[in-house]
Structure 1
């Protein structure tokens, strides 16, 4: 950090709460007089073959903490406490969502209309935003749709509609177990795409409750985009 240009990853160790890696990584190209401006960001993750890895803990170590490292070229061992990722309430803009439940087809029409006030990246400026929309049942992802990418904008207009069909055997009694998650991402053709933020439309949200009680009626509402945690 702060450029995040160097990213290294250990191998995965299975079935242990006390992993021993014994791995060495080397970062090149940092001048001694710039060392105080840099930090190491260590993130420990639980590997998941089928979904996003779980962040178990994180720690940040400032390289300019000790003169030994800078002036004497000495090896230094440090023990870093792992901390959970704090829940951050910082908003990342807003998005307009329109929803309707169709009782006859047992499906949900989910429309992502537009977003506004997305954050600018400090290095690349305007993002190329797009969104992934998930339908969840009891907190588990069941289906996904993805929007088109909009180029260089903080106020993208999507106007895209998607149909989420409830699986066979699910009835209106299961609707209070359905929720939605929107991940807002920045398209990056060079490195992995960055998550800008997220929106959760929970089962007890006013919009989704209204949709369930008024079959066929399209109901629109603005939602704050929160920092992804």
Structure 2
């Protein structure tokens, strides 16, 4: 509701967040929302986590102060929903919704449902070519990180020093991680590095197994994430006859969705 130069936004609840999960996976969900004014990500705030449900109830109010008439005309409220993950993984982006501040009733409650949509406005971050091979009898997943193409340049330091971190995630098992060597000053790195992972190949476990690729720029002091994508083994081996994929950077956004 609008009150002079202030707007109070109350996030009440959500329904069926994240799509299809196994019942055991639902127990591990930690859903929360980030809310801010856009453009500019102004006055960023967030809810508390709600655990163990795809229908979280938040009932939390957020005050946005000092909004001029110009702000009301050009700004929107944006709400992004995330699942909080372990320390090894970036929080999983589940969807976003936004609405205009124009024509809000003064000093009255205005309630609405918003459909969640994928993240918008993602820049072209290049591509990464990988191949996967699953030996079901031996329980071995072979991942070949082949090459990257057209990775983004830094405005100050130029071409990145890229490397790729590979995570294999299976329910009720430890996350497996390996990474490539760093390639110096190139936007089109050739890795050609092969990694093997011992995994469960039962039909039930494969249905809920994913491989996550994250490309980093290794700077002098720390690593900066360039892109991230997660591949479901169920989808990959169903639709890729050659078991090889070229992954577009447009899909390798932060918190990429499941497939």
TM over 0.5: yes
Cα root mean square deviation, aligned? 5.2
Q: Cα 1:3–1:223, aligned 2, differ >3 Å: closer, same or farther?
A: same
1:95 deviates by: 2.0
> Unmatched 5+ residue regions in structure 1?
69-73, 209-220
Are 2:96 and 1:61 aligned?
no
Partner of 1:203: 237
1:18 deviates by: 3.2
Alignment of 1:166-205 (within 5 A): 166=199, 177=206, 180-185=210-215, 196-198=227-229, 200=231, 202-204=236-238, 205=240
TM-score by length of 2: 0.51
Alignment counterpart, residue 83 of structure 1, candidates 94, 115, 119: 115
Larger deviation, residues 37-46 vs 74-83: 74-83
Are 2:149 and 1:116 aligned?
yes
Q: Cα 1:132–1:102, aligned 2, differ >3 Å: closer, same or farther?
A: same
Q: Deviations over 1:131-179 (max 9, x none)?
A: 332335589885232345667754333343323123xxx57x77x9386
Q: Deviations over 1:3-55 (max 9, x none)?
A: 336532122245674332245465x7x87645544322112345556866565
**d(CA) in 1 for partners of 2:195, 2:147:** 14
**d(CA) in 2 for partners of 1:116, 1:38:** 36
Task: Decide which structure has greater strand share.
Answer: 2
**d(CA) in 1 for partners of 2:183, 2:69:** 41
**Structure with bigger RCO (C-alpha 8 Å, 6+ apart):** 1
TM-score by length of 1: 0.56
Q: How many residues align?
A: 204
**d(CA) in 1 for partners of 2:172, 2:154:** 31
Alignment counterpart, residue 191 of structure 2, candidates 149, 154, 158: 158
1:110 deviates by: 2.1
Alignment counterpart, residue 59 of structure 2, candidates 20, 27, 32: 20
Are 2:247 and 1:224 aligned?
yes
1:103 deviates by: 9.0
3-state SS of paired residue (1:207): coil
Rg larger in 1 or in 2? 1
Partner of 1:41: 78
Q: Cα 1:41–1:183, aligned 2, differ >3 Å: closer, same or farther?
A: farther
Decide whether the 8 Å contact of 1:92 with 1:197 is kept in 2.
no
**d(CA) in 2 for partners of 1:14, 1:180:** 22
